[in-house]
Structure 1
């Protein structure tokens, strides 16, 4: 009987301890560890897969060893339904910031746009554009900024796709040299495609004026004071007249 009583008492004590532990408000919280982002293996620096339709994927990559400001890019087109695979390559100026897919001329052929960032005196942007028709890649020449569009431009471009068109935004500075300060205004440009040529339309109206680097210097000629010139002949005459007067007085 004593053994049974001790066994029952021990069992009750263990149950009470377990209940107390389970009702403890301070429970250990396991920290959630975010999965690590997949890194691009050397010598590659950038990778983005763009699926334009089921079975049609374009992998955009950049690579290069020994330098970070230059390299090369390639676009791997995988047509899994037809088991066709093509590669398009090109030289890269700068580093790839992003890649976009569009159909700006609505002809059913996708355009792959690669945005690169480079640096000289400003952080400028460069676009590498291709239109794909099945396995054929047609390179498109992206237009440069005009003289008026470059006023106050110091880089820091932002690109995005809106309504199937490419939009470009960048801040406007008060001048075009290293002393430039942002004005708070932005210039917005829209790019489309027609007959494999880009169309350009500025959407924003410039509300600020940009100073020119070289101000037109006005040279004002100061009037020089007139110099009094006394001829030698006049001095000789005065001396001769003075001598005559002296002679008359003596005579």
Structure 2
């Protein structure tokens, strides 16, 4: 009887082991089955700026996505409801404003996009786009002239006054701590000619 009980127990263990193996094998994909191993879809990029500009029958949609100083600019221009340009570009920083202008007074609309870097040295830039009937051209600020670089550490602010782009930034003295300028402000005015070249009209320091 004792030997019979041991044999019966041994058979139960074998049966249990076989059943476990069968269950594990069933967890494997069957031949011909399609297994979905695609990664989960990524979230769409975060929109950090969005503005629609209108003048007459001309419309420009300006948006940016991304974070920090690596962002993407999207500009879609339409005339009388028909798309005439879809511009995609990379920009270094956040868009602070977008405007429609005609700085060179040639009756062609311009879209100005003001951009400023993030961080302690928040340097500014202007991205400009002029739209003709069938095509478009871009322009942007030139580098600062040598006489305007003394004390410059970014933090530019841009506006439009009349037909000029006005750029203002604080002046840092050599002993100034970051974010604590004591040298006053510098204002530079830029004019746009018919070749889409921006040039300095005046440079003025204020205490």
Give the TM-score normalised by structure 2. Answer: 0.70
1:43 aligns with 2:46: yes
Q: How do 1:100-249 and structure 2 match up within 5 A?
A: 100-119=99-118, 122-175=121-174, 178=177, 181-183=180-182, 185-194=184-193, 195-204=195-204, 206=205
User: Does structure 2 retain, via aligned residues, the 8 Å contact 1:49–1:60?
Assistant: yes
> What are the Cα deviations for residues 68-97 of structure 1, in whole angstroms up to 9, with x where unaligned?
33121011112125x344211111111111
Distance 1:116 1:202, change over 3 A: same
Separation in 2, partners of 1:127, 1:174: 26
User: Does structure 2 retain, via aligned residues, the 8 Å contact 1:174–1:181?
Assistant: no
User: Does structure 1 retain, via aligned residues, the 8 Å contact 2:186–2:206?
Assistant: no
> What are the Cα deviations for residues 82-126 of structure 1, in whole angstroms up to 9, with x where unaligned?
x34421111111111111222111101122111111146511112
Q: Per residue, is there more strand in 1 or in 2?
A: 2
User: Does structure 2 retain, via aligned residues, the 8 Å contact 1:175–1:181?
Assistant: no
1:69 aligns with 2:69: yes
Separation in 1, partners of 2:74, 2:156: 23
SS of residue in 1 equivalent to 2:184: strand
**Unpaired stretches in structure 1, ≥5 consecutive residues:** 1-40, 209-251
Q: 1:207, CA displacement in angstroms?
A: 6.3
Distance 1:126 1:78, change over 3 A: same
Separation in 1, partners of 2:175, 2:166: 23
> What are the Cα deviations for residues 158-178 of structure 1, in whole angstroms up to 9, with x where unaligned?
111111221111121213875
SS of residue in 1 equivalent to 2:141: coil
Q: What is the root-mean-square deviation in Å for CA atoms of aligned residues?
A: 2.4
Whose radius of gyration is greater, 1 or 2? 1
User: Does structure 2 retain, via aligned residues, the 8 Å contact 1:102–1:165?
Assistant: no
List, as ranges, runs of 4+ consecutive aligned residues in structure 1 with deviation greater than 6 Å. Answer: none
User: Does structure 2 retain, via aligned residues, the 8 Å contact 1:174–1:180?
Assistant: no
Aligned length: 163
